[in-house]
Amino acid sequence: MKRKILKNVDWGIFICCIILSIIGMIALFSATYDSSDDSLQRQIIWFVVCIPVVFIIIFIDYESIAKISPILYGIILVLLIGVLFTNPINGASSWFNLGFFSIQPAEFAKIIVILFLAMAMCKIQEKDKNNINKPTKLLTILAIVAVPLLLIIKQPDYGTAMAFIVATVMMLFTAGINKKYIIGAILLVVIAVPILYFFVLPDHAKERINVFLNPESDPRGSGYNLTQSKLAIGAGKLTGMGLLKGNQTQLGFLYPKTTDFIFSVIGEEMGFVVAGAVIVLYVVLITKAVYVAKTAKDDLGSYIAIGIAGIFLFHMLENIGMTMGLLPITGVPLPFVSYGGSSLLTNFVLIALLLNISGRRQKAIFIE
């Protein structure tokens, strides 16, 4: 049975992640060279921990994992509440500091919410697929996402909150949600955006949006990070300035260069060739995730896979987009590439679930 699962697994997904992780560690080496920053060493340790975790998860049927998701959902809600009472780091109460390392509950919430949401959607559609369009059932699904979403916004962590929204939308679309709800949601967003901007968003969030719209208005203040990022990527040209030779990276103009702006480091020192390869790897990864959703043996696997695809799609677009000035800066890490133990472990667990589903797929569940 195990041999059959391993044979069916789409190893291309795993290979993409390994290559991205290696590129990330090379960028971290350059970004932290000649400093006391131990981000690279910590990232290597987390990477080594993640690999066996992936193979353990592959052999546990994803249906069994989904069955315990209600318990995990309750635990993660407690952690998301508890983290609000910790000391803020860079203005956000998002981490539990355990001394030798920190844990970010919002990262692990991605896994648990997707699993619980997928299971809830399957239960709702058990007797009738169209149940998903009944207002009470739809509100139940939205409530499952809304509770952790509001707690994450409270931290505040708007980037992770947006990742939840994208994943939920893609899961509902796959489940066959009625077009009237989609149109209604679009209209709601159009109405809500100006209200949120003027009456809800804190000043620092408004400032990031203003910088996105006009970064040259304050190049030494609020627009500084974006300006330096664009200079770094532009300076890299085709083949880059070379490792340890990037001006913005090595002279400390780029910040934070190990997390939010790691793509800028890659663009400056490795050039368009490697930066473009990173984008291609993400496109391949996300495309394969969608294909796994399409060919999963059941709805549960399909919903989990498409939710995971949504998470990676948002993170890729937002992180790379913000470093180029195409999207507002939100502090979203680049999966497998940016430094972060919680982020790396979460991403590899999500990949393990994809491999798990791909190893057990039998036939396409979608009607062409």
pLDDT the model gives residue 307: 97
DSSP 242-258: -TT--HHHHTT-STTTT
198 pLDDT exceeds 70?
yes
Q: What is the rounded CA–CA span in Å between residue 76 and residue 79?
A: 5
Residue 10's closest CA among 316, 221, 314, 295? 295
Greater pLDDT, 126 or 336: 336
| Model confidence pLDDT, tens digit, residues 18-73 | 999 999 999 999 999 888 888 999 999 999 999 999 999 999 999 999 999 999 99
* 144 close to 77: Cβ distance less than 8 angstroms: no
| Model confidence pLDDT, tens digit, residues 321-360 | 999 988 888 889 999 999 999 999 999 999 999 999 999 8
Name the least confident of 158-162, 171-175, 191-195.
191-195
| Model confidence pLDDT, tens digit, residues 204-215 | 677 777 777 776
* Integer CA distances (angstroms), 311 to 69, 190, 264, 351, in order: 18, 23, 21, 11
146 pLDDT exceeds 80?
yes
